[in-house]
A and B are shown apart, each in its own frame.
Chain A
Amino acid sequence: MENWSLFSLCVLLGLTSRWAVSFHSYSGAGKPPMFGDYEAQRHWQEVTYNLPVHEWYFNTTNNDLNYWGLDYPPLTAYHSLVCAYVAKLLNPEWVELHASRGYESHSHKLFMRATVLFTDILIYIPAVLLYCFYFCDGSSKQKVATALCILLYPGLILIDYGHFQYNSVSLGLALWGILGLGLGWDLFGSLAFTLALNYKQMELYHSLPFFCYLLGKCIKQGLTGRGFFQLAKISLTVLVTFALCWMPFLSDPKQPLQVLHRLFPFGRGLFEDKVANTWCSLNVLIKIKTLLSRETQLFLSFALTLLFILPSSLKLLSKPNLWQFKLALVNSSLAFFLFSFQVHEKSILLAALLMFFLFVFFHSMLPLLVKDGLLLPYVVTSLAFLFLSLYLLSHLTRTNEPLFWYFPFHFWFSLVAMAVLSFTSVWLEPPAKFPDLFPVLVSILSFLHFLGFIIYFNLVQLMEPQRKKSQKKTN
């Protein structure tokens, strides 16, 4: 079958699964007074439509920051504004100032889901297709298989179309950035990544590799000649993009500071909820949250993040090629996730974008998804993804061994552990003394995996073992 038909089949399968998942519940459905992320996005449409720009990030009588105040960079706000205009056309009640708080209806849900689908089709899916087409080595069948696996990745589908968020925009823009760099269009890549950064500050996880790669490339071209001009052009692109995005906020020096304060809430503490990172896991043994002072916590997290990110970035700086770049992206986002301050479960999506086996990450979101009433889609999509990726992997690698022997035993052990944990979290009651036992176990298990991954990928990047026509591909 021709390539275009195979790729369109992949896209259609991806779109169908996305929309089918959207039939299910969303975060905070029917749970007043605070509801959830869905209501947050609706509220931002209300705020951006009805209030002037200089009030968006401030606590005013019209804008209560305690009720889902804006805490993403300006591009998200502009996106909400555009959606609000459409919402106003369809049904003004959806964005009525104050009166629309907690608005829930079937048609509104359809509208919100449709906005996610629209941006997904516009930004994320073309990026994935181009990525698989140009940057995957292997036969066209392997490229199609990769596209299918990426498009069916349950994590993104469930968070965006279930829980409700717009991660496909920021991830898509970041992917365009990677594409740009890979094709040698540095300016375009920097532009795309800067836009991603201005959409969600979580993309900072990827910023160091971008920076090191571009800097390293310029240095290689000679800092006194072409390299310098290249560096200047890139810096100019980035600065102009930032300026354009933040333009409405640059009139008054208080504005950007307030926005930054909203974006990086250091007042909220080392972690919230049960997240699979170091601090949460460590807290089980030593109560860090209460033991250390706020400043010490901040310093510790900063220091450890830097420590884990430094080797990878330095290596990339010295050897700016694409393979190093990809690995550095993985390592950097893992480092940030594991060690930084105030991390949410969804941050792990960033590392997931580049990993081959994303299953662990998805599993770590189990407590969140169960809370949202998304158990059925979780089970279905994760099983489907697992079987699909294993099946395709076993077929596209030239091996005559049965699948079982191909993966080391700890892979199967992890899968069993995750399955058991999923099952027990849902069906069994936790003992009264430890009501959060299962979410914490999920977090710890995932954390151990991530730690293993970060060590493994750092080793791979730093030591560059002989790269055979690799079967364990890291995309």
Chain B
Amino acid sequence: TVMAAPMTNDQSWFYALALGVSFLKCLLINAYHSTDFEVHRNWLALTHSLPVSQWYYEATSEWTLDYPPLFAWFEYGLSHIACFFDKEMLVVPNLNYASPATVLFQRLSVIVADVVFFYAVKECCKCLREDKGKDLLGKPSFILTGLLLWNFGLLIVDHIHFQYNGFLFGVLLLSIARHCQNRHFEGAFLFSVLLNLKHIYLYIAPAYGIYLLRCFCFTQSNAVLVTLGTIVLSTFAVSFGPFIGQLPQVLSRLFPFKRGLCHAYWAPNIWALYNIADKAFSILGVKFRLLDINKLPKASMTGGLVQEFQHSVLPSVSPLATLVCTLLSILPALFKIWHRPNGARGFLRCLVICALGSFMFGWHVHEKAILMAILPLSLLAVDSRKDAGIFLMLSVTGHYSLFPLLFTTQELPIKIFLMLLFTIFSLASLKTLFRKGGALLNPLEVTYLLGLIPLELICEFVYPLTVWQKTFPFLPLMLTSVYCALGVTYAFIRLYNSLLTCSDTTKKTKMQ
């Protein structure tokens, strides 16, 4: 039966969902938080206590400022509110200071900053094609809101682990929404702001660059190109202006290439598979006497802040090599967009591929970066069947790969409940949305996803009770990385496939 909701209540479900998730976030205030909490407290302290010229030189704490200047200004702004909660947190030497007031303030700042994300999601919903008279639970905008506002990855990374991704992704999604609404100047401006907030979004800058150049600049007058350039450059100028004298120092903080190929916990990308292949070859090689165990370089793949390691059998990988691989992986997508732009949908698909390609082949990638692919993909998922299938594969796998971020026993039920919540919601709602036309996932994909359950049981319940826990403590992490890397690679291939084979179906696309 159709819910007889009066027209005045048309948007109230949005606020219900937003308020509900905010309440949940408030309940999680007391949960475990990682070292990222101390990172941001340190940045609050140094932006508040030190003059601007010292911000990028300050090194009392090991967690030096490594985000671009606009984010530093953001922390500076926050620090003025922090005064009212606990002045002690703003003292730089107070390392690892975490009084209840500090925790409350920092957590609340993330929750409040998410308002930007809420607004962006609302704008994105306006870009969707709506069918009137549909049941609320089957409306694409409702499903998209659920997929974005209640995204498992964002919840646990932002509100437990502690980061400000909600706010940043809000700016990204808003920029995408503006492009969908043909307000390109605002979109470009927002993206420049985003780059100056967190430079990891450079991953997707090529997509923006090619799309804007192609769709916008050459078709219209040069004045447009000039305006765009002015907007971007002035944003950077405002951001980096005060630091113009210390530019080399700032850049060295932003791009610390001294770190190793992989993080202590391997992100589920190509290099995880590469590492495991290398290990397998070396073991097999030693077993079959093809290699001398004494001549192999000791591969230490884990441990420490800086992991320099050599591969034993396969050639070692340098930062330049990863850059080349990344560029090669995203070049076909960029060509496709240049050659045959498919409007905003094509741009979005290219954006996701750039994010995913950089994730797959990048240097020292964090597993959290998978969110950069999953969140924009949600927009595509509510629009087409194929994308919904890819989204399910990528989101379930990607979210599962975030599990090792929360390794405490207390958070174990939370991450399992929330993961199930999001997975069931996305499966059921997308299935309802695309009920005509068969299943969203083929049996092989379903088997792979179901395989995550025994994997979780083994890694978190069975393995810790065995003797190997002491001798090979990183084995569960390795297993998780490798298993998820398979899923992520598969999703990447399928996304490329759908980009390269999709024709210019201009009559179907609403977003032009």
| A residues adjacent to B (C-beta < 8 A) | 1-2, 5-6, 8-9, 12-13, 15-17, 19-21, 23-24, 106-107, 110, 117, 139, 141, 376-377, 380-381, 383-384, 387-388, 391, 394-396, 398, 400, 402
Q: Which residues of chain B from 1 to 19 have a CB within 8 Å of any chain A CB?
A: 1, 3-6, 8-9, 12, 16, 19
Cβ–Cβ contact B413 & A384, under 8 A: no
**Nearest-neighbor residue (CB-CB) of A402 within chain B:** B8
Encoded as 1 (CB less than 8 Å from any A CB) or 0, chain B from 179 to 207 comes to 00000000000000000000000000000
Collect the chain A residues with CB atoms within 8 Å of residue B19's CB.
Answer: 384, 387
Give, as a whole number of angstroms, the nearest-CB distance from B162 to chain A. 15
Q: How far is A6 from B425 in the complex, measured between Cα atoms in Å?
A: 8
Cβ–Cβ contact B424 & A395, under 8 A: no
Collect the chain A residues with CB atoms within 8 Å of residue B1's CB.
Answer: 139, 141
Given known contacts A5-B428, A110-B410, is B12 in contact with A383 (CB within 8 Å)? no
Give, as a whole number of angstroms, the nearest-CB distance from B147 to chain A. 13
Given known contacts A380-B23, A384-B23, is B413 in contact with A19 (CB within 8 Å)? yes
Cβ–Cβ contact A19 & B26, under 8 A: no
Total A-B residue contacts, Cβ distance less than 8 Å: 83
Give, as a whole number of angstroms, the nearest-CB distance from A391 to chain B. 5
Collect the chain B residues with CB atoms within 8 Å of residue A377's CB.
Answer: 27
Which of A12, A21, A376, A394 is the most central at the interface, judged by chain B CB atoms within 10 Å of its CB?
A12
Cβ–Cβ contact B23 & A16, under 8 A: no
Cβ–Cβ contact B3 & A395, under 8 A: yes
Collect the chain A residues with CB atoms within 8 Å of residue B409's CB.
Answer: 107, 110
Query: Would you call B249 an interface residue if the criterion is a C-beta within 8 Å of the partner chain's C-beta atoms?
Result: no
Query: Would you call B498 an interface residue if the criterion is a C-beta within 8 Å of the partner chain's C-beta atoms?
Result: no
Collect the chain B residues with CB atoms within 8 Å of residue A21's CB.
Answer: 27
Cβ–Cβ contact B16 & A387, under 8 A: yes
- List 24 interface pairs A-B (beta carbons < 8 Å), by A numbering: A1-B429, A1-B432, A2-B432, A8-B424, A9-B421, A9-B424, A9-B425, A12-B424, A16-B418, A16-B421, A17-B27, A20-B28, A20-B31, A23-B28, A376-B30, A377-B27, A380-B23, A381-B27, A384-B20, A388-B20, A391-B16, A395-B9, A395-B12, A402-B8
Cβ–Cβ contact A391 & B428, under 8 A: no
Collect the chain B residues with CB atoms within 8 Å of residue A141's CB.
Answer: 1, 3
Other-chain residue from B9, B413, B432 in contact with A117 (beta carbon distance below 8 A): B413
Q: Which residues of chain B from 397 to 450 have a CB within 8 Å of any chain A CB?
A: 409-410, 413-414, 417-418, 420-421, 424-425, 427-429, 432
**Nearest-neighbor residue (CB-CB) of A106 within chain B:** B410
Cβ–Cβ contact B421 & A12, under 8 A: yes
Give, as a whole number of angstroms, the nearest-CB distance from B350 to chain A. 32
Collect the chain A residues with CB atoms within 8 Å of residue B420's CB.
Answer: 8, 12
Q: How far is A278 from B6 in the complex, measured between Cα atoms in Å?
A: 43
Cβ–Cβ contact B138 & A1, under 8 A: yes
Give, as a whole number of angstroms, the nearest-CB distance from B204 to chain A. 32
Cβ–Cβ contact A1 & B428, under 8 A: yes
Cβ–Cβ contact B424 & A20, under 8 A: no
Which of B8, B26, B27, B30 is the most central at the interface, judged by chain A CB atoms within 10 Å of its CB?
B27
Q: Which residues of chain B from 138 to 191 have a CB within 8 Å of any chain A CB?
A: 138
Cβ–Cβ contact A376 & B137, under 8 A: no
Given known contacts A376-B29, A391-B12, is B424 in contact with A17 (CB within 8 Å)? no
- 14 new A-B contacts, CB < 8 A, other than A9-B425, A20-B27, A380-B27, are A1-B137, A1-B428, A2-B428, A8-B424, A16-B24, A16-B414, A19-B413, A19-B414, A20-B24, A20-B414, A377-B27, A381-B27, A395-B12, A398-B4
Cβ–Cβ contact A15 & B417, under 8 A: yes
**Nearest-neighbor residue (CB-CB) of B146 within chain A:** A9
Collect the chain A residues with CB atoms within 8 Å of residue B16's CB.
Answer: 387-388, 391
Q: How far is A388 from B16 in the complex, measured between Cα atoms in Å?
A: 8
Collect the chain B residues with CB atoms within 8 Å of residue A2's CB.
Answer: 428, 432
Number of interface residues of B (CB under 8 A): 35
Q: How far is A136 from B420 in the complex, measured between Cα atoms in Å?
A: 26
Tell me whether chain A's interface is mostly helix, strand or loop, or mixed.
helix
**Nearest-neighbor residue (CB-CB) of B428 within chain A:** A5
Give, as a whole number of angstroms, the nearest-CB distance from B414 to chain A. 6
Collect the chain B residues with CB atoms within 8 Å of residue A9's CB.
Answer: 421, 424-425
Give, as a whole number of angstroms, the nearest-CB distance from B164 to chain A. 21
Give, as a whole number of angstroms, the nearest-CB distance from B301 to chain A. 31
Collect the chain A residues with CB atoms within 8 Å of residue B29's CB.
Answer: 376
Collect the chain B residues with CB atoms within 8 Å of residue A110's CB.
Answer: 409-410
Collect the chain B residues with CB atoms within 8 Å of residue A107's CB.
Answer: 409
Encoded as 1 (CB less than 8 Å from any A CB) or 0, chain B from 465 to 501 comes to 0000000000000000000000000000000000000
Collect the chain B residues with CB atoms within 8 Å of residue A396's CB.
Answer: 3
Q: How far is A141 from B4 in the complex, measured between Cα atoms in Å?
A: 12
Cβ–Cβ contact A17 & B24, under 8 A: yes
Give, as a whole number of angstroms, the nearest-CB distance from A317 to chain B. 38
Q: How far is A17 from B20 in the complex, measured between Cα atoms in Å?
A: 11
Collect the chain A residues with CB atoms within 8 Å of residue B6's CB.
Answer: 400
Q: How far is A139 from B2 in the complex, measured between Cα atoms in Å?
A: 10
Other-chain residue from B20, B410, B425, B429 in contact with A23 (beta carbon distance below 8 A): B410
Q: How far is A17 from B19 in the complex, measured between Cα atoms in Å?
A: 14
Give, as a whole number of angstroms, the nearest-CB distance from A274 to chain B. 27
Q: How far is A24 from B410 in the complex, measured between Cα atoms in Å?
A: 11
Collect the chain A residues with CB atoms within 8 Å of residue B421's CB.
Answer: 9, 12-13, 16
**Nearest-neighbor residue (CB-CB) of A113 within chain B:** B410
Collect the chain A residues with CB atoms within 8 Å of residue B429's CB.
Answer: 1
Collect the chain B residues with CB atoms within 8 Å of residue A15's CB.
Answer: 413, 417
Collect the chain A residues with CB atoms within 8 Å of residue B26's CB.
Answer: 376, 380
Q: How far is A134 from B109 in the complex, measured between Cα atoms in Å?
A: 44
**Nearest-neighbor residue (CB-CB) of A140 within chain B:** B1
**Nearest-neighbor residue (CB-CB) of A24 within chain B:** B30
Q: Which 9 A-B pairs have the closest CB atoms?
A: A5-B428, A20-B27, A384-B23, A12-B421, A23-B30, A16-B417, A380-B26, A19-B413, A1-B428
Q: Which residues of chain B from 99 to 147 have a CB within 8 Å of any chain A CB?
A: 137-138
Q: How far is A383 from B27 in the complex, measured between Cα atoms in Å?
A: 12
Cβ–Cβ contact B9 & A394, under 8 A: yes
Collect the chain A residues with CB atoms within 8 Å of residue B417's CB.
Answer: 12, 15-16, 19
Give, as a whole number of angstroms, the nearest-CB distance from A438 to chain B. 23
Collect the chain B residues with CB atoms within 8 Å of residue A6's CB.
Answer: 428
**Nearest-neighbor residue (CB-CB) of A109 within chain B:** B410
Q: How far is A357 from B417 in the complex, measured between Cα atoms in Å?
A: 27
Q: How far is A117 from B417 in the complex, measured between Cα atoms in Å?
A: 13
Q: How far is A23 from B30 in the complex, measured between Cα atoms in Å?
A: 6
Encoded as 1 (CB less than 8 Å from any A CB) or 0, chain B from 268 to 304 comes to 0000000000000000000000000000000000000
Collect the chain B residues with CB atoms within 8 Å of residue A402's CB.
Answer: 8
Collect the chain A residues with CB atoms within 8 Å of residue B137's CB.
Answer: 1
Q: How far is A15 from B417 in the complex, measured between Cα atoms in Å?
A: 7
Collect the chain B residues with CB atoms within 8 Å of residue A383's CB.
Answer: 23
**Nearest-neighbor residue (CB-CB) of B8 within chain A:** A402
**Nearest-neighbor residue (CB-CB) of B421 within chain A:** A12
Q: How far is A396 from B19 in the complex, measured between Cα atoms in Å?
A: 19
Q: How far is A21 from B27 in the complex, measured between Cα atoms in Å?
A: 6
Q: How far is A239 from B20 in the complex, measured between Cα atoms in Å?
A: 47
Collect the chain B residues with CB atoms within 8 Å of residue A19's CB.
Answer: 413-414, 417
Collect the chain B residues with CB atoms within 8 Å of residue A17's CB.
Answer: 24, 27
Q: How far is A17 from B424 in the complex, measured between Cα atoms in Å?
A: 17
Give, as a whole number of angstroms, the nearest-CB distance from B438 to chain A. 17
Give, as a whole number of angstroms, the nearest-CB distance from B443 to chain A. 20
Give, as a whole number of angstroms, the nearest-CB distance from A21 to chain B. 6
Cβ–Cβ contact A23 & B31, under 8 A: yes
Collect the chain A residues with CB atoms within 8 Å of residue B23's CB.
Answer: 380-381, 383-384
Q: How far is A380 from B108 in the complex, measured between Cα atoms in Å?
A: 13
**Nearest-neighbor residue (CB-CB) of A141 within chain B:** B3
Collect the chain A residues with CB atoms within 8 Å of residue B27's CB.
Answer: 17, 20-21, 23, 377, 380-381
**Nearest-neighbor residue (CB-CB) of B28 within chain A:** A20
Give, as a whole number of angstroms, the nearest-CB distance from A357 to chain B. 19
Q: How far is A21 from B23 in the complex, measured between Cα atoms in Å?
A: 12
**Nearest-neighbor residue (CB-CB) of A392 within chain B:** B16
Q: How far is A384 from B27 in the complex, measured between Cα atoms in Å?
A: 11
Collect the chain A residues with CB atoms within 8 Å of residue B428's CB.
Answer: 1-2, 5-6
Collect the chain A residues with CB atoms within 8 Å of residue B4's CB.
Answer: 398
Collect the chain A residues with CB atoms within 8 Å of residue B3's CB.
Answer: 141, 395-396
